[in-house]
A = this chain, B = another copy of it.
Amino acid sequence: MSKKQAILLNATKLFSQKGYKDTSMAELAKRTGSAGSTIFYHFKTKEALFLSILKNVRETIITDFNRYLKESRFENGLEMVEGAISFYLACAGRMEDQFRLLHRHYPHELAQANPLCRQHLEAIYECFIDMFAQAIGHGQKDGSIGILSARKTALIIFSMVDGLVRFNTYNLYDAGSLYDEVIESCRKMLKNS
């Protein structure tokens, strides 16, 4: 593995586990097994390194999402929503570090000042929220889901599922043991009656 890749890999872990400010470039260099200045050879500033990581996260998520879209088939829209929730939770489990990074305050604060950062964040969130909204839209066409605002309901479901992931990260509650109840709750929320 090249030094640059090693830096990116270790920086992702450090930024997600300790936060932006608490991650020192000296420690990152030590973990990577390189000189401190090597980091600044590959990345102009600490912030540029962070943006590079965020770009990686975005690309990984979008790739994962596209693969999921191709592979999955559902009987109706309601099942599609359930599939989307499963995908989100699986995604968060598979990419624990990356999701913890997104859940930190720093990327959102940087997004206020840095358009590129905002682009990355919006692309990631839009990907997930749109996934829910599309599924709801399908469900409304095939009659498995009742009349409601697809977009707003998508935001509510996202908020719900993302909260579970946070429960996990903070060791407040095991998200897995809530899975069945979340699916059941959504079904009741959405079902055409």
Enumerate chain A interface residues (CB-CB to B < 8 A): 19, 21-22, 103-106, 108, 112, 125, 148-149, 152-153, 155-156, 158-160, 162-164, 166-167, 170-173, 177-178, 181-182, 184-185, 188-189, 191
Q: Which listed residue, B125, B164, B189, touches A189 by the CB 8 Å rule?
A: B189
Copy tally for this chain in the complex stands at 2
Closest-by-CB residue of B relative to A111 is B170
Which residues of B have CB within 8 Å of A171? 112
Contact of A163 among B19, B162, B185 (CB under 8 A): B162
- Cα distance A171–B182 when bound, in Å? 26
Cα of A123 to Cα of B188 in the assembled complex, Å: 31
A155: chain B residues at CB < 8 Å are: 167, 173, 178
- Assuming A19-B106, A104-B105, what are 5 further A-B pairs, CB within 8 angstroms? A148-B181, A153-B181, A156-B185, A158-B163, A159-B160
Interface of A is mostly: helix
The verdict on A19 contacting B105 (CB below 8 Å), with A159-B167, A178-B152, A181-B149 known, is yes
Output the least CB separation between A166 and chain B (Å).
8
Alpha-carbon distance A185/B160, docked complex (angstroms): 12
A105 smallest CB distance to B (angstroms) = 6
Cβ-defined partner of A153 (8 Å) among B21, B22, B163, B185: B185
Smallest CB gap from A181: residue in B: B152
A16's nearest neighbour on chain B, judged by CB, is B105
